[in-house]
């Protein structure tokens, strides 16, 4: 017998597993681009997963008519912190690689990370704006149902 509590627990576990896999993919991408000096073409699988994982989550939430929009500045602050940490880590790894090897091709790493950041910021901004719009629309729709 499956009650709602069991279903919620299973969904929470699946969500946690998905986040662990996503973090693993991000870590793999960073290691491949920054430490192993692989080009973006060699990391395309990780790149596509990192871009489309949040996009799929966003689309699925709206299919289910769920909005996680809040009026706080927390998502923007989290985005800024994430970008800052990624830029600092990338700069340190690139700087250390240049010091170790004068023939290190740092442009590939910078282009890969910069293109990911640009695409991520565009998708994040569009999703946040759309989420805000849909959140108000869902509130009105569900308030009208009463």
For residue 56, give its domain range: 4-144
Angle at Cα 26 formed by Cα 21 and Cα 30, nearest 5°?
Answer: 145
**Length reported for the chain:** 146
Helices 44-63 and 4-30, packing angle to 10 deg: 150
This prediction's pTM: 0.60
In whole angstroms, give the CA distance from residue 131 to residue 54.
13
- DSSP per residue, 93-109: HHHHHHHH-TT--HHHH
pLDDT tens digits, one per residue of 95-125: 777 777 777 676 776 777 777 778 877 877 7
Report the mean per-residue pLDDT for the chain: 77
Number of domains the chain contains = 1
In terms of C-beta density within 10 A (0-12 exposed, 13-18 middle, 19 or more buried), how is residue 128 classed? middle
In whole angstroms, give the CA distance from residue 86 to residue 33.
12
pLDDT tens digits, one per residue of 80-103: 777 787 777 777 777 777 777 777
């Amino acid at each position: 017998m499956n009650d709602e509590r069991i279903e919620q627990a299973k969904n929470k576990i699946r969500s946690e597993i998905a986040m662990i896999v996503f973090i693993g993919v991000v870590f793999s991408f960073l290691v491949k681009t920054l430490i192993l000096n692989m080009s973006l073409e060699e990391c395309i699988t990780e790149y596509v997963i990192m871009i489309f994982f949040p996009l799929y989550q966003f689309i699925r939430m709206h299919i289910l008519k769920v909005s996680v929009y809040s009026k706080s500045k927390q998502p923007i602050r989290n985005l800024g912190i994430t970008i800052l940490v990624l830029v600092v880590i990338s700069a340190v790894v690139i700087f250390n690689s240049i010091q170790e090897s004068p023939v290190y091709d740092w442009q590939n790493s910078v282009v890969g990370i910069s293109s990911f950041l640009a695409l991520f910021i565009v998708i994040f901004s569009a999703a946040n704006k759309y989420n805000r719009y849909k959140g108000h629309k869902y509130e009105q729709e569900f308030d009208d149902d009463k």
